[in-house]
Chain A
Amino acid sequence: MSKLRMPYQCIEKAGKFLVAARGSSIDLFSLDDLSLLSTWKFPHAQGLSTKGGTQSTTKNHSINMLETPALDTEPPHTSPAAKRRKLSDESSTQAVEAGERKSMTKPNSRSDSVASGLEDPAFITLASTRGGQHVIAVTGEDKTIRVPMPKRPCAITITQDNSTIIAADKFGDVYSLPLLFSELEVDQTPGSIATPRTESSSKPFTPAANELTVHSQRNRRALENQKAQSNKASEKPELTFEHRLLLGHVSMLTDVAAVDIQGRGYIISADRDEHIRVSRGIPQSHIIEGFCLGHTEFISRLCIPQGKPNLLISGGGDNELFVWDWLTCRLLSKTDLQSLIADVLLEYKAKNDGSYPKDEIKVTVSNIVHAKHADWNDGADMLLVTSEGVPALFTFLLTPDNILKHIQTVKLPGNALALTTYALTPEGSIIVSVDSIHKPGSITDCRSEAEATEPLRLYMFRGNELNNKSIFKPTNAYDEKQSVKLTNLLYNLENLRKRDGEAKEFE
């Protein structure tokens, strides 16, 4: 077993806790003393999956809801074993129990290209409610379904009234589901633009057209195909929870945001084909208000600064970060990120490959996080940005004329993976998860044990400047020779870039 600690692919602050996902486990840390409170493991061994024997070939997607410990309870002073039970028994029982009740399997033959390759389904994204009571954790693949999703959600957000989860999937659809899944019913009510399923399996199959109504040769061929295919049983069981289709792109969705402004709700969705779409909020999400168009590569991250809800910062495969007035779909400014990244990476690349052409270095924005605190820099808005495979954190000041001004390149001991802010009065802190398995600047080369580093770090603002403060008390989780597979889990955004002649099917 290697001495390298497992890195966290996503982290999320929830009240006084930090929720951090490594592979298929979730660690809960106290933000008071940075101690590990407990670990929640994917309930794989708890009878939810077909244990032993043949592995089921089903691959499912689920949303898991964890309840964080009550905010007013003291952190438990018990043994690690008891602590672990605390999270798995009290905190997530609801979700797991609910899961067992609602458990169902859904076959999905599509091979998942972003599958982690790890044995258990890995968490791919986390979101917390505004008060921090609940954390939503989404797995990339799964063998049983707790809260079944028709397609793998690739981005989720929670509406500002804390009532609804908005989930975007890689097939381009955006769905809503209630945050607390109480009544499970198929919903086809107003607000949903989904039409009832027509392909009921109970009815005998009748082809949609017959030879008399099909006239062109190709239509006739299609009909023959259809007949040949038709006698299989319907593959998809009905969904059994309230779940509405809100809107959709014919493209892979990469991020979604829900914003309230001037008393109205909006949904902003971004895709691989360079579109940022602004739609009305529920229940009028079928109305598109506009598109923020200007990116020339995939978009991967959207950020709406708190307190400035009319602004949107977007980034992805383009060399620049974009600042928008999204209500009017106006581009306000663009700021170069590529040369900042190149400056960092050239240091590492030069070490290994000698000279390296600077413009070949690609930007793949993996985080854009807004940080603001009344006591830093007179309450200025800071944006913290990371790019896949780059061991640095870039900080920008959002100026009053809506320009991003580069302030600092904070070198990290490993590639930046995830980050979140945490306000500790009077200073603001940033928690960064770094890749503790791969060498800084590389997404494939593993560290030697001498190069081991801790996966979670805390940085603090002093004025505009970020300083390394401390590290989290680590888990006992070590990499178990899965680092190659981990690459897919930790670095999957660059795959969004279009390659010449590529014919990538969504199916």
Chain B
Amino acid sequence: MHNNLASQTELQSPSVLYLLNLAIMVGPANKRQKREEYRTAHREEAAPELPKKKFYRQRAHANPFSDHQLTYPISPETMDWSPYYPAFVLNVAPGGTQTLSKDVEVADIGCGFGGLLVALAPKLPDTLLLGMEIRSQVTEYVQERIKALRAQNADAHLYQNAACLRANTMKFLPNFFRKYQLLKIFLCFPDPHFKARKHKARIVSATLNSEYAYVVRPGGIIYTITDVEDLHNWMVQHFDSHPSFQRVPEDEQEADECVSVMRTETEEGKKVERNKGKKFVALFRRLEDPEW
């Protein structure tokens, strides 16, 4: 047997080597290809099943300071929302630009796999919700998830008010939303960036809070939740010290139905639950701008 093989190998050595090389090359690519095939098939399906998360995983961190190859509107006025909320498109004269019957009013920043969006959408049926996520494959997962949910709930007309797009909100939030457009922003389990050197990558900062204040109208609410106490303290400290925000008292916080959704329906919230970890919640109200 051994001899036999040896002679065979000798005889066919060039082709064997060739096959071996191919095998090495095909190995990892195969997995990638499978994922791509799955995702393409899912995209093309008319009434798809819910997507499987494992085909959309992506490395955890995307650098919010780099250029990526993001697409974003030049300004909110140039944003075409019709592909995201087709059920809310107003029929306009041929040739005219399509507009929606309402504006997006709730943003889930760093929405991850979309658990919050999907849970909130039926609870706020008359409000347009937008998930914003920097990782492209995670974004695609949420888009496919919403597409499937819309198809499965076509009769009840559910999930038409939820959508997700890829965006680096740290740079481009004002490209999507006008001044005072939003009613609520969710910042659920943001990346903690523990190292002091990385703190500037945090989604909450003195200067970013000014941008949240710009897109949220007075009376609107910023919702935060995290399992990292230090990050919770950081967020509280930065919103508290920002003149445009005021912490929402605890009784009011606990009476807000969005708070329990945020605790239990986000993917990260569920993970923390499984590990019996603590969750820290803080809400901040956008104040009126002072006279000047």
Contact = CB atoms under 8 A, between A and B. Distances in A.
Contacts of B290: 284
Contacts of A172: 207
B58 to A, nearest CB: 12
Task: State the majority secondary structure of interface residues on A.
Answer: loop
A503 B68 contact: yes
A213 B192 CA distance: 12
A223 B65 contact: no
Contacts of B75: 291, 293-294
Contact of A195 (B241, B244, B292): B241
Contacts of A288: 174, 179, 210-211, 213-214
Interface stretch (A35-43, A247-255, A381-389, A456-464): A247-255
A501 interface: yes
A290 B215 CA distance: 10
Contacts of A195: 206, 237-238, 241
Interface string A189-233: 000011100110000000111001111101100110110010000
Nearest to A191: B243
Contacts of B66: 502-505
B208 to A, nearest CB: 7
Contacts of A294: 74-75
Contacts of B228: 208-209, 213-214, 219
Nearest to A206: B230
Interface string B179-217: 100000000000011111100100001111111011000
A200 to B, nearest CB: 11
Nearest to B196: A199
Contacts of B65: 250, 505-507
A504 B67 contact: yes
Interface string B276-292: 01100000000001101
Contacts of B36: none
B275 interface: yes
Given A173-B207, A250-B65, A296 B268 contact: no
Contacts of A193: 206-207, 209-210, 241-243
Interface in A40-82: none
A498 interface: yes
Contacts of A212: 277
Of residues B174, B242, B290, which shows the largest number of chain A Cβ atoms within 10 Å of its Cβ?
Answer: B174
B69 interface: yes
A208 B192 contact: yes
A209 B277 CA distance: 12
Task: State the majority secondary structure of interface residues on B.
Answer: loop
B254 interface: no
Contacts of B64: 250
Interface string B258-282: 0000000000100110010110000
Q: How large is the interface on A (under 10, 10 to 19, 20 to 34, 35 or more residues)?
A: 35 or more
Interface stretch (A119-127, A272-280, A339-347): A272-280
Contacts of B152: none
A284 B289 CA distance: 10
B175 A293 contact: yes
A499 B85 CA distance: 32
B170 interface: yes
B213 A245 contact: no
Contacts of A407: none
A351 interface: no
Contacts of B208: 248, 250
A279 B213 CA distance: 12
Interface in A326-385: none
Contact of B172 (A199, A247, A248, A273): A273
A216 B271 CA distance: 7
A110 B36 CA distance: 39
Contact of B67 (A207, A498, A507): A498
B179 A290 contact: yes
Contacts of B157: none
B7 interface: no
A249 B67 contact: no
A283 to B, nearest CB: 9
Contacts of A208: 192, 194, 228-231
A404 B290 CA distance: 37
Contacts of A215: 227, 271-272, 275, 277
